[in-house]
Amino acid sequence: MAEVRTLILRAPGTNCDGETAFAFELAGSVVEFAHINELLGRKELLSECQILAIPGGFTYGDDISAGRLLANELRLKLGEEIHRFVDEGKLVMGICNGLQVLLKAGLLQPRGDTACQSVTIAGNGSARFECCWVHLRVDEATPCVFTAGIRSMYLPVAHGEGKVFADAGAAEKLNAVLRYADEAGAVAADYPDNPNGSVGSIAGICDLSGRVFGLMPHPERYVRGTQHPSWCRQARRDWGDGLQIFTNAVEWAQKI
């Protein structure tokens, strides 16, 4: 079995890197960390791994807008290397702030939309920080590698800017992998099931290849059964809903 190496990218304000590393290690990957300045100075680090992960947090204090500054660094200074990384069949994952970064770097823009950014992340419709657990429905018709075999999930969210906002017609061109749902599994547009007011109840997006994936909920915060908020009142389960996302990624990367 081939060894899979995951590179977890850090920047000032990143704060979910430890949990993300634990999830990838639990799924069987070897994990390395790199600060954005280190990666800019040693771009060959990308070629040594099969998965690039951008964890949650508040990179650069979310100045200007959430994820914008790190997105600019990736787009302007590492764009060629990241596109080559994806073209080689490797995987990129962004969680919460990571989704904000991927969108604003242009790595998840709608099909055929390369001239401008028609989809972004805006402040929550509630105008406040939302920290809660949400039901998610998976669109199994998308090519997303990370969600293969998953139909639904229950995961936590924690963000002040998580609203997917799109120009007219742009949302329909997205590969919307995850949508906020109600407890019965029906896609839900209303608060609090859709905690941020995202257009189309979108909670996660992948690119055309299905190998670049970003989501607002935090799968790394629910990889063990005891991380569920009601774990002591439910039947025992060893693993949380989020673990399968990381397992899918590692199993895919073993074939590269």
Active site residues: 96, 218, 220
Is residue 223 within 8 A of residue 245, CB to CB? The reply is: no
Residues 6+ positions from 129 with CB-CB distance below 8 Å: 158, 159, 160
Residues 6+ positions from 90 with CB-CB distance below 8 Å: 49, 50, 51, 52, 211, 253, 256
Antiparallel, parallel or unpaired: β 51-54 and 5-10: parallel
> In the Cβ-directed half-sphere of 169, how many Cα atoms lie within 13 Å?
3
d(CA 190, CA 42): 45
Q: How far is CA 163 from the centre of its chain?
A: 14
d(CA 250, CA 91): 9
Looking at residue 143, what DSSP letter applies?
-
d(CA 77, CA 47): 16
d(CA 242, CA 124): 23
Q: How far is CA 89 from the centre of its chain?
A: 18
Tokens describing residue 13: 């304000």
d(CA 155, CA 133): 5
d(CA 252, CA 242): 16
